[in-house]
Chains A and B, each alone.
Chain A
Amino acid sequence: MSKQKVMMGNHALSYGAVVSKVNVISAYPITPQTQVVELLSELCSNGALDSEFIKVESEHSAMAACIGASAVGARTFTATSAQGLALMHEMLHWAVGARTPVVMGNINRSMGPPWTIWSEQTDSLSQRDTGWLQIYASSNQEVYDSVPIAFKIAEHKKVQLPVMVVLDAFFLSHTSENVMMMDLDKAETYLPKYKPKHKLDVNEPYTFGALTTPEWYYELRYKIQKAHENAISVIEEAQSEFKDMFGREYGLVEEYKTADADTILVAISTAASTAKDTVDELREKGVKAGLLRLRFVRPFPFKKVREVLSSAKKILVLDRNLSPGIGGIIFQEIKSAMYNESNKAPIYGFIAGLGGRDITTETIHNIFEEAEKQDPKNIIWMEVKA
């Protein structure tokens, strides 16, 4: 029988690494990620987790160590946040180009300056062009389950790419929730030992990453794009197998009362779980509201998004992130996904909750109201102090 445990999101991430039987961990502490590395250090030192833990001097080195270890065939894990993720940037590209299936937890934190530690998605969304797959969780259970699912996808021979499991600072990282734990043996059946096709092996010496001329580099990039396209079905298989074994169901996206909805709000992470309450309240008032939560932002689930939004009369996008000069990032992506579609429903871009300011049910109510009052705009700022 599965065990139930109350834990914070950071510990859910750590136990996700435990249940994935990672071989090598390399990490550097940063608020609000520290409990992830603290718990993993403790579990490594008391033998509960049979892994090497390289306590590096920076996040850049954390990612570099994971890449080196992964190239030998070890299952590798790290976790970081904001400034740490930005410092890793060069190596995030390296992990993709080297096709090393590293899994990393990122706790969404706003970027400094000024110093801040609270939640915002700009840190991870600004890494979206590196080629990492990105999962945005909205509960601690989802954080925990997403780690073995991420490894299964990352290590799949049709994907062979790194995956980021992303969670909100404090709203998940430091908030305790019930988590159903997996049985270790059952988890190993779900996620068997990593067996790479190519690795650094003295018995079969290969060179990885040698200077590559335009004659070949182009095709390597093509293959990375193809791997993202392949990942869609790999994700669906991995999550369907997960449901069969553990009973919990995950999709590329999560739909909430969208089937007959006139107005659909698109959001990610915990703001999306808050929005469910607002949708319920609006439904009680007879408003046909619905919610589409993107669980995967990369690969972008085009087909699913288009399907869900195909009959919406209004599409509202909530972004807790900002790409200055253009606006919300998810808004841009939803708009581009819908451009060639027959449904020409207006798309509204809302910014809220930057720097970890609360996004309450009231905020989301106001978003639905604004969309009734206004013509569609690329940026509608919610709750900005004058």
Chain B
Amino acid sequence: MKYTIPKEELVHPGHLACQGCGGALAMRIMLKTLGKNTILTFPACCWSVIDGPFPYSAVKVPLFHTAFETAAVVASGIKAALNRVGDPKTNSVAWAGDGGTFDIGIQALSGSAERNDDMFYFVYDNEAYMNTGIQRSSATPKGAWTTTTPVNHPKATPKKDILAIMAAHKIPYIATASIAYPEDFTRKLEKAKEIKGFKFFHIFAPCPPGWRANPKDTITLAKLAVETKLFPLLEIEDGEKYTINLPKKDKGKPIEDYLKLQGRFKHLKENDIKEMQTFIDKKYNRLKILEEISQ
């Protein structure tokens, strides 16, 4: 098998991520492929801590920390400046959590996407405000426990469909990616590098402390999310052309396999799980139809 992931490490060891952090691994893979000619923008998110306090930094590229709701537009500003006073080939990368993307950052994100600014936007989605201590976000799935959705009142509404929102912007490239499938992630990054315009990546990033899971299960969880069709790996080009990369088989593993490794779903009853399975199947079937009609 050919090794497709670049060997150069642009994340230093000794960063401050928790054990088994999906977000930390996602950064490692992303920077390997986008390389040194990259400027990062972080809003408030786990990575504002993971990178380390002044005077330390865990990344070997320039990094600008910004306010919670501004990741996309600061990266837009950086790109505009690179076009005038820098190297227009430098990648401008916004790197945000789900809170900074699905919630507080969605206005600026929509603005940058609508203008089709030539940049990358990555959301590493751990499905809640983990940095502040596990509060629900609009990326938290229905039924999940968080500190603001206690077990007697778990999250009552489904996770916001960020892909549909981004697809509606008709941006040239959208991809989902997983830390359990680094080759797939790398291939998509290589492809996106060649595309001018707004590139959006939705990365599934398990969070052992927030999901009440064992750090050793991070990769297993990320893999199960794909195998159960909860988080299919896919690409959307120009907001219209859907391609499902994984899972290969339409019949996925049962969602219980994924749920049982996490304390945040421990309170769910059989019926809740059944409902979740139906939701997943329906959503996946809809994706299959979108794929079929767009080919």
Within 8 A of B (CB), among A43-92: 50-52, 54-58, 60-61, 64-74, 76, 90-91
Task: Report if A202-B36 is in contact (Cβ < 8 Å); known contacts: A54-B80, A66-B77, A72-B81.
Answer: yes
Give the A interface residue count (CB, 8 A): 42
Q: Report B51-70 CB contacts with A as 1/0, cut-off 8 Å.
A: 11111110111111111011
A51 touches B84 (CB 8 A): yes
A56-B86 Cα distance, complex, nearest whole Å? 22
B83 touches A52 (CB 8 A): yes
Q: Report A180-206 CB contacts with B as 1/0, cut-off 8 Å.
A: 000000000000000000001110011
A64-B64 Cα distance, complex, nearest whole Å? 12
A68 touches B81 (CB 8 A): yes
Q: Report B83-94 CB contacts with A as 1/0, cut-off 8 Å.
A: 111110010000
A200 touches B62 (CB 8 A): yes
The smallest beta-carbon distance between B177 and chain A, in angstroms, is: 23
B107 touches A65 (CB 8 A): no
Interface residue stretch chosen among B109-117, B239-247, B263-271: B109-117
From A51, A68, A212, B74 is in contact (CB under 8 Å) with: A68
A67 touches B54 (CB 8 A): no
Chain B neighbourhood of A213, CB < 8 A: 53-54
The smallest beta-carbon distance between B171 and chain A, in angstroms, is: 15
Chain B neighbourhood of A72, CB < 8 A: 39, 77-78, 81-82, 85-86
Range for the number of chain B residues in contact with chain A = 35 or more
A200-B85 Cα distance, complex, nearest whole Å? 11
Chain A neighbourhood of B62, CB < 8 A: 200-202, 205-208
A212 touches B60 (CB 8 A): no
Smallest CB-CB separation from A22: which chain B residue? B84
The smallest beta-carbon distance between B144 and chain A, in angstroms, is: 28
A71 touches B84 (CB 8 A): no
Within 8 A of B (CB), among A320-355: none
A56 touches B84 (CB 8 A): no
Smallest CB-CB separation from B57: which chain A residue? A207
A216-B54 Cα distance, complex, nearest whole Å? 8
Chain A residues packing against B (C-beta within 8 Å): 23-24, 26, 50-52, 54-58, 60-61, 64-74, 76, 90-91, 94, 98, 200-202, 205-213, 216
Top 5 closest A-B pairs, CB basis? A68-B77, A65-B77, A57-B111, A72-B81, A209-B65
Chain B residues packing against A (C-beta within 8 Å): 36-39, 41, 48-49, 51-57, 59-67, 69-70, 73-78, 80-87, 90, 107-108, 110-111, 114-115, 117
Q: Can you give 27 A-B contacts (C-beta < 8 A)?
A: A24-B81, A55-B115, A57-B111, A58-B107, A58-B111, A64-B66, A64-B67, A64-B74, A65-B74, A65-B77, A67-B74, A68-B74, A68-B75, A69-B78, A72-B39, A72-B78, A72-B81, A72-B86, A94-B66, A200-B39, A200-B62, A208-B62, A208-B64, A209-B65, A210-B51, A212-B53, A213-B54
